[in-house]
Amino acid sequence: MGCCQSSVREKSEEKEGNEERQEPYHITSSASISQQPHTDSSSTHPPPPPGFDGFSEFSLSDLKAATNNFSSELIVSESGEKAANLVYKGRLESNREWIAVKKFSKGAWPDPKQFVEEASGVAKLRHPRLANLIGYCCDGDHRLLVAQFMANDTLAKHLFHWEHHTLEWAMRLRVALYIAQALNYCSSQGRPLYHDLNAYRVLFDHDGDPRLSCFGLMKNSRDGKSYSTNLAYTPPEYLRNGRVTPESVIYSFGTVLLDLLSGKHIPPSHALDMIQGKNNMLLMESHLEGKFSTEEATVVVNLASKCLQYEPRERPDTKELVTTLAPLHTKPEVRSHIMLGIPKHEEAPSIPQRPLSAMGEACSRMDLTAIHQILVSTHYRDDEGTNELSFQEWTQQMRDMLEARKRGDYAFRDKDFKTAIDNYSQFIDVGTMVSPTVFARRSLCYLLCDQPDPALRDAMQAQCVYPDWPTAFYMQSVALAKLDMNKDAADMLNEATALEEKRQRGGRGS
């Protein structure tokens, strides 16, 4: 319950496959996940270069904890455990954000420096149409990438394995435009190569917007294959020389256009035969039931045909993709989640479906002044029983520590929050006594100083000291809301309210 850290098994499972297949990668939001870099004085690989935010080194233990020791139940790779490089869904213990973790097979990147340099280059790309890379792990012979997670599946799922309704035509056009914009951005930033572009590389974020996985911007390994799909869908020049070029990416984009048109994975040679035979409408998805513009469909068919030309020089560039598709985006006012038929992300209830206490009301309103008044009035009555000190422990150091807490209390009461942080930190750092109230008070001080990250950590520490203390959950709720993690904030507020009800029926501190 809550954010308190839990122990995980330390035994790692290695999953190896016989063939390399495409792996989907998922994200949730455009906000990057902050993580303190893991440092190791004995490490031989370099840190990522400075100058850009949202990219960090993660420890292997962090990622084991996030993925329940790389549990097979959390594999989200398209080929499951058969994939050579597995992708896992996980959740960071530090800030409770969902992540996707790509785990390369052993030996894929023997040179750690090259792996870090390649990952750092990809991570510099930041665009609304891209799914961002937020970190990596390079521990021993382990090579992992960390990205934000998205729960609304891949384009392949929505096109080939849909359950309730097929993608409407306007959404298909939006996917084509957004992926073209992503490719054009990458090209403008000097990274025009994308490895194995296909419907599994296109994913939908929490708002239902399509994004291009950043995993395809990074090679599978130093000398690894760049295409894992059937040879029928591979650019012809790649079959000749084994190299990916910008024109190869355009060819692969053409195969995605065919997927969007037909709702099936049609080999390009078959599709071109139909196009050349003027049988364009035979390409179209039958489940659309004619609910599309034949003029728009003709534009997309012709663009796909140009992308799939045998000679690379006859294919369009990324700018032409965008300029051709942009005029077809005729419903910009309709949100993607509506087109996908999924609930709006913000629609999760923000207030528990039960009466709120004064503390609950203050937290639901994010009223920090009211929270301050409540914490001042409750003083330390909830700390009873958290410390049992012997006479021998009552030393001069203890008296000094309590003096620091007293100074913190005076500063907290007088709303001198920076001084309160300093004095409460002196009390906490000694470590002889642990006080959930001090953690809760310092958490609020951090919030009032616009520092939600340390505020969340302190609220989590308060919960670790006193696992069923509603105030710890309330403070986590406010900190999570400040971090724009609104769904988690609502869940935490519900937990706090439930604990408070239980407490009022009888129990500690009642």
Residues acting as catalytic residues: 196
* Identity of the amino acid at 183: L
Residues in Cβ contact with 301 at an 8 Å cutoff, skipping those fewer than 6 apart = 261, 275, 280, 283
How long is the chain? 510
Q: Among 258, 270, 264, 76, which Cα is nearest to 160's?
A: 264
Contact status, residue 142 vs residue 115, Cβ threshold 8 Å = no
Residue with tokens 């003709």: 298
Distance CA(479)–CA(363), nearest Å, equals 10
Q: Among 319, 104, 322, which Cα is nearest to 218's?
A: 104
Torsion over CA: 419, 420, 423, 424 (sign): negative
- H/E element holding 100? strand 98-103
List alpha helices for 326-416, DSSP H.
Answer: 336-340, 358-365, 368-378, 396-413
How would you class 174 by CB atoms within 10 Å of its CB: exposed for 0-12, middle for 13-18, buried for 19 or more? buried
Instruction: Work out the end-to-end distance of the chain between its first and last CA atoms, rounded to an integer number of angstroms.
Output: 21
Here the tokens at position 149 are 């997670």
> Which SS3 state, helix, strand or coil, does residue 146 take?
strand
Q: Among 287, 279, 266, 267, which Cα is nearest to 169's?
A: 287
Please give the torsion angle defined by the CA atoms of residues 62, 68, 72 and 75, in that order, rounded to the nearest 10 degrees: -50
Q: What is the CA radius of gyration of the chain?
A: 27
Angle between helices 470-482 and 368-378 (to 10 degrees): 160
Here the tokens at position 332 are 């910009």
